[in-house]
Amino acid sequence: MTDDKLQRFSDRYAAQETPWDTGITPPEIVAIAAEMPPGRALDLGCGTGTNVRYLLEHGWQADGVDFVPLAVERAQGKLAGFPPGRSAVHCHDVTRLDELVALRPPYDLIIDIGCGHGLPADKQAGYVQNIAALLRPGGVFMLFAHYPDETRGFGWSADDVRRLFVPTFKLAWQALGTDTTTGAQSGWYRLVRRAAIIPE
């Protein structure tokens, strides 16, 4: 991740100009957490830890990763009352998840709400590979991404998601619409990690 991007996000957290940090767990995550038996979850780009806390409150073990130190500090504050060992929030670059030895795979559920869609093109394939390596076969990856458009230089369309994640993942469900926070066209995707292919 570039120093410029880190500085930009750090400044916005310091100024509390973070419209994406609503403090409310999205209904799509509420639904999947209720559907699956509590297990081990990982939130990529976890911000101030809203979803990590929600999962902990509902019986999960949950970890988070974010590259903004102030966001991680606030997340750790939110989680301070939970028993040690049930969660951890790491300040780390999501494009280098394979270097984060403190993670606790395999995860049953991995969440990305507006994180991966902002990665540069040369980092995207590695990001997908790292998610696949951390998620158990049959595990669920819940992804929220904005579509690219002329006003921003990033985003993943539904076709982009299929190109990047299939065939390593099965696209089990998608809901395309508009982000109520920003008005941007966006999509939610439920992707299921396929079983490893065993060479003949």
Taking only the tens place, the pLDDT of each residue in 113-171 is: 999 999 999 999 999 999 999 999 999 999 999 998 877 778 999 999 999 999 899 99
Bridge-based pairing state of the strands 169-178 and 185-193: antiparallel
For residue 104, being part of any structural domain is answered with yes
Q: Does some domain include residue 17?
A: no
The model's pTM = 0.90
Residue 180's pLDDT is what? 67
User: Is residue 55 included in any domain, yes or no?
Assistant: yes
- Of the two residues 53 and 70, the one the predictor is more confident about is 53
Whole-number average pLDDT of the chain: 89
pLDDT-derived band at 84 (thresholds 50, 70, 90) equals confident
Residue partners of 114: CB distance under 8 A and separation at least 6? 20, 45, 144, 145, 146
- Tell whether 9 is covered by a domain: no
What pLDDT, on a 0 to 100 scale, did the predictor assign at position 200? 35
Radius of gyration from C-alpha coordinates of the chain: 16
Q: Is the pLDDT of residue 102 over 50?
A: yes
Q: CB-based contacts of 173: which residues, under 8 Å, 6+ apart?
A: 189, 190
pLDDT number for residue 7? 75
From CA 43, how far away is CA 45, in angstroms rounded?
A: 6
pLDDT at 57: 97
Q: Would you say residue 7 lies in a domain?
A: no
Q: Residue 168 belongs to a domain with what CATH number? A: 3.40.50.150
Q: Which domain holds residue 77?
A: 26-193
> 49 vs 43, 53, 57, 79, 82, CA distance in Å?
8, 6, 12, 8, 13
Residue 11 maps to a domain:
no
Instruction: Read off the pLDDT of each residue in 15-28 and give the average, rounded to a whole number.
Output: 81
Average pLDDT over residues 45-59: 96
In a domain, 199, yes or no: no
Q: What total number of domains does the chain contain?
A: 1
Whether 8 is in a domain gets the answer: no
When pLDDT is averaged across residues 49-70 and rounded to a whole number, the result is 95
